[in-house]
Structure 1
Amino acid sequence: MAHKKVNLPEKICATCGKPFAWRKKWARNWEDVKYCSEGCRRNKNTNGSSLV
């Protein structure tokens, strides 16, 4: 039976404000992850300041 991805922790992206789920590549540093993608990480200064 395949693994269901229903109980994965989620965070809100600091740049775009969209929710994103835990990924295996973030297992070691999940507490430090702030952005949903590399693109959001690169644009953190342009869009992040408008979020409350």
Structure 2
Amino acid sequence: MAGGAGAGPAVQQALEGVEDLGGPEDQPADGHLDARPVSTAVNNVRNNDPHLLAPVSL
């Protein structure tokens, strides 16, 4: 189980069923996923605008 042998009961309970979530090898629903750089504004939960999805240059 993830979390290690020394993990407390709360951690173990939170990790229950994590194996069922799948991994990075799973395909997205439509079979296609684009990864692109976006603004650091996505890191702030107060930001909720369509511009957050706009690609930025590196």
Q: Same fold (TM over 0.5)?
A: no
Question: Comparing both chains, which one has the higher relative contact order based on Cα–Cα distances under 8 Å and sequence gaps of 6 or more?
Answer: 1
More strand per residue: 1
Which TM-score applies when normalising by structure 1? 0.20
Larger radius of gyration: 2
